[in-house]
Structure 1
Amino acid sequence: MAICNGCGISVKRSGLLPHLRLSGDLRCQRELQKHRAGDGELSSDSDMESVNSSAILSDSAVNSRLAKSVNAIPSISIPSVFGPALARDEPKQNFSMQVDVVGDFFGDYQDYSLSEFGTEEAHEGLDLDDSKHGLEPNRPTSLQTSSDQPDDEIPVHDDIMQEKAACLRGGYEEKLKNQPFVVKFTRGNPGAVVSRGGHDENTRYSSAVGNSDNPYAPFASKMEWDIARWAKLWGPSSTAFTELMGIQGVVESLGISFKNTTELNKVIDKELPGRPAFQRHEVMVGSEVCDVYFQDVIACVKALFGDPNFTPYLMFAPEKQYTDDTKEVRMYHDMHTGRWWWSTQEELETQKPGTTIIPIIISTDKTQLTLFRNKSAYPLYLTIGNIPKEIRRKPSFRGYVLLAYLPTTRLEGVTNQAQCRRLLSNLYHACMRKVLQPLEEAGVSGMSVTSGDSLVRRGHPLFASFIGDYPEQVLTTGCFTGECPGCPVHRDELGDYPPDGPPGFRDLDAILKALDSFDSDPAGFLQTCARAGIKPLVKPFWKNLPYAHIYRSITPDILHQLYQGVINHLIGWITEACEHDQMCCILLGLVIDVQLPDGISNVRLVHSVRALLDFLYLAQYPLIKLYGTTDNFNTKYTERLHIDLAKDAYAATNFKDEFTQMTTWLERKEKILRHDQYVQWRLNGSPPPPEPQEWLPPGLELDRTLSMAKHPSVRAVPIDRLEHVYGAQFFRTALRQFVALSNEPHLTSAQLERKLWDIRLPFLTLPIWHKIKYLYPDPLTHAPSTADSIHSRPAKKDKRGRPVPGRFDTALINDGTGEDTGIQGYCIARIRVVFSLPERSIPLMFNDDVDVPKHLAYVEWYTAFPDTPDPDHLLYKVSPMKYQDGGRICSIIPLANIRRSTHLLPKFGSVAPQAWTSSTILDLCDHFFVNTFTDRHFYRIFI
């Protein structure tokens, strides 16, 4: 045995130096420096050899193992049209390391071999816990891999673990692309139509405004309606609008009936139908009077259910969806495919056959209205689960309504902090109970609800889900801060599941029994609640809501709990371990080559970052095999609603008695928006309600449409300018190659090389496009929206004469064999020029039977993807393909072969050169990693 002169720990003699290398103790690091300087003693030469063999790989060693040769030259001087064909002529380049998939997804550390840390004997008695130093997480004290084998021969995982890892992503994602096998709910008749109302929602609205031949009624003309709509949605303040209308001749010239804001407001208030007005109630808390503003929750539910825009997409009954007819793998993607709706429907059908469940989803989060007067609002939003998540999560579709403004008081008059917290908690529940109380009767007995197509059903509005950040979750459930809002696990044991699996949810019956003790034993109420594990809540709002289980209703919050929770913690951890100036890099790219203090290996840091990022992206999948998706329970959506329904409303007030003015402003805005919907319906010829549409799962959202502007960015650019300004140095040669292979696709490499010099190019000036766009259809309107773009423009000067660097993006190229997911058939290229060939020149260059694509792209190739990614961070490494003289290997390809944009992470090494900037990095850096975390779309296809 040996004693460490630094920390005093006793270890085996052969494990002394591995201990010094791994320890985060500064005293141990000083001893290590002595050994390196030759001042310390080693037990023997054999000890030194064992230490050298077990030392963590240096940067140069890692680079030598992972680097791919970029000097491999194709057997032909000019590459073929498509990238992969070029790669086939090159020597195959493979990584020598194995891929650690299981370690990232399952939290395993079996991928670390003992050859990196010392022999198995060296670890006996060795303290591997560096978490106390704040740089690394807890990790196992024993590693199960033998060190007798060379690094490259160590079996990282067994077949079973590899299979599990494959199933997590690549295996089942293929199945998720197919149309699901659907099992309908057949017990009873859920969603049954009770009667036909005779008039759909638009017809009833038309009757309310007078059934006039004028589609803009009650406004006299299109001009009058457009001005009213502009004034309430986009216009200036009320005072400014009144002053505008007061200018002599404006009202007469425009021919409108209202002369100021007051008259316009009277028209909106009296002649446009809308929901019931906000109610104002006073709540006495101690010596303070608080106001709560809210709408009738039943009216809001009926308004959402009857919105004509949602009619074709409403869900009325639960379903079970599977990947295929074997029904072995169940799919979850929206509320009607989940277990809650199915089980609740079964229970309701025994009592109320033909029930239509209306899942109530509420969300609340306090927001700051202004930074100057410290004003805040506490909005409560409501939506229903019958509306698909692809619609309700978009604020522009108005799938959420503002249900209430809760009190924002801090009870500064109460000096006892514990009493103040209890009062605020009970104030919250008292207000929520008042707002949601109508659901107690309607949820049990049901109510008539009419969809936009005039069909009447018996609906049961049932509280199903609560969306909020962690403080709101704690406040709602009554648990203590630091605990899980849903399960009974102690705060110090979170994440440590027992052998028999997760602990399940809190015991709702026991908690309700404890809450009932307030009436029978008020003196012992505090102790009873404490034994039940909750705070002493007096009548929480969810207590009497039918079929409600608050601890099952709490959902993970992607914004606050993943991005601002897990990822913020990760960033803080990295910031502590690294210098701040390195944070300019993308997170995973930052830690790939980062040097930790005292020579500590960054392998575990890279593994942890990759695992957390995978967790973040997998948690947001719109479709999943187990339990349910979280992408539709995200306070990010309601954060956007804060702008429309709180901050804009506050800005429209005079900051006195603001909530009364805010609710009035919102009522008028809602009426204008509804009338605009009605006007569009009238202008479209008053069509009948659309037929119900089959709403398929959102899938992997892989379909995007290439879109090019009708007219080029530059109409005529000579080839000389392309070569010098756009950087397309080999454009003429690449064009000859494209022409030759288009005319004779079966040319060999030698034949192609001889053929090139026989091709004569006419004088060409080419139309050039500087931007490629990819569109995806909107789920409700089907209008295209931009999902991705690729830029290829040269340097220029802005309006002030300042230079603007050129931008030539990298992209993912399909050779024609690539599938929706996976890297097979794909490679990376940099887009230099996007152009078309003039029609008059095509007959001079191509045979008559050649179909020349309308748009082409001149690209610079990167090396083919290796067979396996890097074993630590699981990113694929690529490098620019170059000739021996340093010139880039280029080709011309059809624009349709470009799949989407790609982000490359430079391999920084220990120090990033100062010359590397966003505009020069692609020219100066020789090695890159393909960033799979660019967005969720790229993460899903790059498996």
Structure 2
Amino acid sequence: MSAGNINSLLEIWAADLARYKASPPFRTQADLYRSIDDTPLGGVKWESFTVSYGGPRPDDDVPTWMTDKHSIFFRNPLEIVHGMLSNPDFKDEIDYAPLRVYGPDGKCRLQNFMSGEWAWRQANIISQKVSCTDTSFVPIILGSDKTTVSVATGQNEYWPLYCSIGNVHNNVRRAHRNAVEVVAFLAIPKTNKKHADDANFRKFRRQLFHTSLSRILSPLRPYMEDPEVVRCGDGHFRKVVYGIGPYIADYPEQALLACTVQGWCPVCANPKDDLDADGALQCTREHTKFLVCEFELGDLWHSYGVVGDVVPFTNDFPRADIHHLISPDILHQLIKGTFKDHLVTWVEQALKIEHAIDGLVSADIVRAIRAFLEFCYLVRRDVHMEDSITEVQEALNSFHQYRKIFLTLEVRQDFSLPRQHSLVHYVDKIWEFAAPNGLCSSITESKHIKAVKEPWRRSNRYEALEQMLMTNQPLGKLAAARVDFKERGMLDATLFKVEKKAPEHQYGRTVEQIADVFAIPSLQQLIRCFLYHQLHPAEGLSGASIPLDRCPPFDNKGLLSVYHSASATFYARSDPCGTGGMHREIIRATPKWRTGAARFDCVFVNRRNNAHGLLGMEVGRIRLFFRIHHEGRQYSCAVVHWFHRTGDEPDEDTGMWVVQPRFVGNPRKRSPLLSVIHLNTIVRAAHLIGVSIDKPVPDGLESRGALDHFPSFFVNKYIDHHAFELLHTSVSR
């Protein structure tokens, strides 16, 4: 907020308090900022250093990049890590040592970072030193990603470097709770088109990156071999030893980090033109050093994909091998890379080549996309066990088998694509670093908003970086102060108002009126059957299976309250929806949605059994939400139109269950099969996709009419992570 607006608000506040002969805590915006600056918590100060080119220069026409001084702004990473370790907000969601977790079946569970094999090996190495006995290991997780804050006004780019610690749980790192902090803004050297491809400029740009990282992280270096004592969030003091941990980056930065030529893999030594060859060797720091000593720079570049004249920053730190520290990146490797840039483009090309007339795709294309989507959702799981890792490998094997159709159709000549090749390393990375969702670049991408984009918008756009740093500084102090206030119990009395949903009265209140508006002539009978089931649950009978005269009476005097929506709250542990894993969605049933057509959503209904997938649930379409009172009790209900499964297994090609709406009566005069159910039997909303085999979808069909158009539907398990967990059937099942 601008200084003028802050002053205006403070004046309004002062005028309101004047009648009480009181004054606000701050007189002006300057007074407010002084109070924030005086806060002793958080807000590690920004520092800077400059780097310039020191090599040989031409006699004339010296490019500007050789004479420029490149400023790198940074904060002391040691102080930032101290703040994270001492943060009481993390005290119940942090591991101070590597651990191995086993389920009731005795199988290993991989969830948070410290449960992976890499942290365990590092701790074993550290423990061999006498001074490091009884020491906690703190992995320093880094991430960087260039971001553009404006396009029309000159493409202003910034290169933030982020820092976290591997000890905090993955859900904390994903939930924007100050477990990821911006530690630096790296320099972006620029030159004109004439010198952009100059080998010296490219070398300088790479070495500038690595030199900057080494300089920024140097305060941590003394405590990577000998421990320091720090205060932790639970109030205890611990000896800690630091180590360079995984680095979160997209493929271009992975290549830059590993000093790898673009097009080669930064993790394994497979050749550029055959990335998925069997028997790939792991790249290592020692192997790269050997190659650099034995071969010329040209041979290193063309035959081994090694940039031999640049030293990785990890060489300046103990136990750090950049090839081992490249983290899996679900966002750029799977979603943006393999799915968006590769598969979607390939399918479009295949349609033009093979099916330009009827618009169909071959079964192998469908199976390839199915296998890849299953791979995506499986690796995105919050917890991995031996069985799920086996499923990941099976899905990858299926994807590699069925993607050959794109070679057959001559859409591709090979699959030597670095981002797609990265899939073969995911199983190893899960064992090394546990669940990949704690190291995804979506974490740093989302951090761009608060650390870069919003501060830039608050600036005057002229030499904006220093203004952005001054914005980040007080925000860090406020965040730290809020955690401290909460820990002291100063925020427990916060008041909030809960808005209750109001019933819709425009349809009347009687059964007859509502049955007429919603076209449910049997509503009264359905309610009576429902009440029998509620009053006699031990019989295990559906109300619809007994004579109506045995059901409790519910005449036209029984009043109904109609609602247009209901909320479903469920545990979605693999969704990025907060640290608790709880998710909330709205299910709607209304004759007029946003002044338009009717909207009646579909849902999953629990069958109260332990069967897997859709065998343990039913699919229904909500026709009405309502509430009734009967014999002093209140019931929240829904009228559903039932669907039935067409088989006991999902569709072979898509992996999705197929359902059809159920009707009663003869084909000429049939009516939907309806029931009244209690709301507590609804699991969540269901997403159905119309099955259109050998027939094109009508051009004029809108989404609001899809559920009434198709005779059968796929139950979409790929709509989100929770739906996948509910409906997925493993390959081996």
TM-score (ref. length: structure 1): 0.64
Q: CA deviation at 1:932?
A: 0.8
Aligned to 2:585: 788
- Confirm or deny: 8 A CA contact 2:284 2:324 kept in the other structure: no
Out of 440, 464, 468, the residue aligned to residue 662 of structure 1 is: 468
Structure 1 residues 747, 900: CA separation in 2 closer, same or farther (over 3 Å shift)?
Answer: closer
User: 384-393 vs 871-880, which deviates more?
Assistant: 871-880
Which residue identity is paired with 1:812?
Answer: F
Structure 1 residues 681, 873: CA separation in 2 closer, same or farther (over 3 Å shift)?
Answer: closer
Q: CA deviation at 1:755?
A: 2.6
Q: Deviations over 1:225-247 (max 9, x none)?
A: xxxxxxxxxxx222432455578
1:643 aligns with 2:449: yes
1:430 aligns with 2:211: yes
Aligned to 1:298: 78
Alignment of 1:795-874 (within 5 A): 795=592, 803-818=595-610, 821-838=612-629, 841-842=630-631, 854-864=635-645, 866-874=647-655
Q: Deviations over 1:262-313 (max 9, x none)?
A: 3332332235443431101111132111111100011111110110101122
Which residue identity is paired with 1:842?
Answer: E
Structure 1 residues 540, 926: CA separation in 2 closer, same or farther (over 3 Å shift)?
Answer: same
- Confirm or deny: 8 A CA contact 1:905 1:928 kept in the other structure: yes
Out of 335, 350, 354, the residue aligned to residue 113 of structure 2 is: 335
What SS does the corresponding residue of 2:555 show, helix, strand or coil?
Answer: coil
Q: For the residues of structure 2 that align with 1:890 and 1:567, how far apart are their CA atoms?
A: 40
What SS does the corresponding residue of 2:438 show, helix, strand or coil?
Answer: coil
Q: CA deviation at 1:739?
A: 3.5
Structure 1 residues 513, 887: CA separation in 2 closer, same or farther (over 3 Å shift)?
Answer: same
What SS does the corresponding residue of 2:714 show, helix, strand or coil?
Answer: strand
Structure 1 residues 924, 748: CA separation in 2 closer, same or farther (over 3 Å shift)?
Answer: closer
Q: For the residues of structure 2 that align with 1:896 and 1:355, how far apart are their CA atoms?
A: 49
Out of 480, 483, 489, the residue aligned to residue 270 of structure 2 is: 489
Stretches of structure 2 that go unaligned for 5 or more consecutive residues are 54-65, 390-430
Q: For the residues of structure 2 that align with 1:431 and 1:260, how far apart are their CA atoms?
A: 40
Out of 659, 672, 681, the residue aligned to residue 478 of structure 2 is: 672
Structure 1 residues 823, 305: CA separation in 2 closer, same or farther (over 3 Å shift)?
Answer: same
Q: For the residues of structure 2 that align with 1:769 and 1:465, how far apart are their CA atoms?
A: 50
1:898 aligns with 2:682: yes
Out of 406, 418, 424, the residue aligned to residue 199 of structure 2 is: 418
Aligned to 2:89: 309
Structure 1 residues 854, 684: CA separation in 2 closer, same or farther (over 3 Å shift)?
Answer: farther
Q: For the residues of structure 2 that align with 1:750 and 1:860, how far apart are their CA atoms?
A: 14
What SS does the corresponding residue of 2:92 show, helix, strand or coil?
Answer: helix
Out of 230, 233, 242, the residue aligned to residue 449 of structure 1 is: 230
Q: For the residues of structure 2 that align with 1:597 and 1:418, how far apart are their CA atoms?
A: 50
Q: CA deviation at 1:856?
A: 1.6
Out of 38, 42, 45, the residue aligned to residue 277 of structure 1 is: 45
Q: For the residues of structure 2 that align with 1:621 and 1:612, how far apart are their CA atoms?
A: 15
Q: For the residues of structure 2 that align with 1:757 and 1:599, how far apart are their CA atoms?
A: 53
Structure 1 residues 274, 828: CA separation in 2 closer, same or farther (over 3 Å shift)?
Answer: closer
Structure 1 residues 777, 756: CA separation in 2 closer, same or farther (over 3 Å shift)?
Answer: closer
Structure 1 residues 660, 399: CA separation in 2 closer, same or farther (over 3 Å shift)?
Answer: same
Q: For the residues of structure 2 that align with 1:247 and 1:899, how far apart are their CA atoms?
A: 49
Structure 1 residues 737, 554: CA separation in 2 closer, same or farther (over 3 Å shift)?
Answer: same
- Confirm or deny: 8 A CA contact 1:310 1:452 kept in the other structure: yes
User: 717-726 vs 642-651, which deviates more?
Assistant: 717-726
Q: CA deviation at 1:477?
A: 0.5
Q: CA deviation at 1:337?
A: 1.0
Q: CA deviation at 1:914?
A: 4.3
Structure 1 residues 322, 267: CA separation in 2 closer, same or farther (over 3 Å shift)?
Answer: closer
1:540 aligns with 2:312: yes
- Confirm or deny: 8 A CA contact 1:436 1:541 kept in the other structure: no
Structure 1 residues 783, 545: CA separation in 2 closer, same or farther (over 3 Å shift)?
Answer: closer
Which residue identity is paired with 1:793?
Answer: T
User: 600-609 vs 774-783, which deviates more?
Assistant: 774-783
Query: Relative CO higher for 1 or 2, CA cutoff 8 Å, sep ≥ 6?
Result: 1
Out of 252, 255, 260, the residue aligned to residue 474 of structure 1 is: 255
Which residue identity is paired with 1:559?
Answer: L
Out of 330, 336, 349, the residue aligned to residue 564 of structure 1 is: 336
Out of 686, 692, 697, the residue aligned to residue 912 of structure 1 is: 697
Q: Deviations over 1:170-211 (max 9, x none)?
A: xxxxxxxxxxxxxxxxxxxxxxxxxxxxxxxxxxxxxxxxxx
User: 616-625 vs 400-409, which deviates more?
Assistant: 616-625
Q: For the residues of structure 1 that align with 2:196 and 2:228, how far apart are their CA atoms?
A: 46
Q: CA deviation at 1:475?
A: 0.7
Out of 688, 713, 732, the residue aligned to residue 503 of structure 2 is: 713
- Confirm or deny: 8 A CA contact 1:389 1:632 kept in the other structure: yes
Structure 1 residues 339, 723: CA separation in 2 closer, same or farther (over 3 Å shift)?
Answer: same
Q: For the residues of structure 1 that align with 2:724 and 2:222, how far apart are their CA atoms?
A: 46
What SS does the corresponding residue of 2:546 show, helix, strand or coil?
Answer: helix
Which residue identity is paired with 1:550?
Answer: I
- Confirm or deny: 8 A CA contact 2:297 2:309 kept in the other structure: no
Q: For the residues of structure 2 that align with 1:760 and 1:248, how far apart are their CA atoms?
A: 57
Q: For the residues of structure 2 that align with 1:784 and 1:555, how far apart are their CA atoms?
A: 24
User: 506-515 vs 353-362, which deviates more?
Assistant: 506-515
- Confirm or deny: 8 A CA contact 2:164 2:180 kept in the other structure: yes
Aligned to 1:769: 563
Question: How many residues matched?
Answer: 647
Q: For the residues of structure 1 that align with 2:45 and 2:39, how far apart are their CA atoms?
A: 14
1:262 aligns with 2:30: yes
Aligned to 2:347: 574
Q: CA deviation at 1:441?
A: 1.8
- Confirm or deny: 8 A CA contact 2:250 2:329 kept in the other structure: yes
Aligned to 1:510: 287
Q: For the residues of structure 1 that align with 2:139 and 2:682, how far apart are their CA atoms?
A: 43
What SS does the corresponding residue of 1:855 show, helix, strand or coil?
Answer: strand
Which residue identity is paired with 1:675?
Answer: A
Q: CA deviation at 1:721?
A: 3.9
- Confirm or deny: 8 A CA contact 1:297 1:436 kept in the other structure: yes
Q: For the residues of structure 1 that align with 2:518 and 2:530, how far apart are their CA atoms?
A: 19
Q: CA deviation at 1:340?
A: 0.7
- Confirm or deny: 8 A CA contact 2:607 2:617 kept in the other structure: yes
> Pairwise CA RMSD of aligned residues?
3.2
- Confirm or deny: 8 A CA contact 1:834 1:857 kept in the other structure: yes
Q: CA deviation at 1:369?
A: 1.2
Structure 1 residues 421, 748: CA separation in 2 closer, same or farther (over 3 Å shift)?
Answer: closer
Q: For the residues of structure 2 that align with 1:559 and 1:475, how far apart are their CA atoms?
A: 19
Out of 351, 354, 372, the residue aligned to residue 612 of structure 1 is: 372
Aligned to 1:439: 220
- Confirm or deny: 8 A CA contact 2:259 2:311 kept in the other structure: no
Q: CA deviation at 1:660?
A: 1.3
Q: CA deviation at 1:757?
A: 9.6
Structure 1 residues 740, 478: CA separation in 2 closer, same or farther (over 3 Å shift)?
Answer: same
Q: For the residues of structure 1 that align with 2:548 and 2:12, how far apart are their CA atoms?
A: 79
Structure 1 residues 459, 248: CA separation in 2 closer, same or farther (over 3 Å shift)?
Answer: closer
What SS does the corresponding residue of 1:336 show, helix, strand or coil?
Answer: helix
Out of 176, 187, 190, the residue aligned to residue 407 of structure 1 is: 187
Structure 1 residues 721, 284: CA separation in 2 closer, same or farther (over 3 Å shift)?
Answer: farther
Aligned to 1:125: none
Q: For the residues of structure 2 that align with 1:247 and 1:835, how far apart are their CA atoms?
A: 46
Which residue identity is paired with 2:620?
Answer: A
What SS does the corresponding residue of 1:543 show, helix, strand or coil?
Answer: helix
Q: Deviations over 1:875-907 (max 9, x none)?
A: 221111112213101011121111111100001
Q: CA deviation at 1:467?
A: 0.4
Aligned to 2:394: none
Aligned to 1:388: 169
Which residue identity is paired with 1:330?
Answer: C
- Confirm or deny: 8 A CA contact 2:195 2:201 kept in the other structure: yes
Out of 87, 93, 103, the residue aligned to residue 323 of structure 1 is: 103
Q: For the residues of structure 2 that align with 1:754 and 1:270, how far apart are their CA atoms?
A: 75
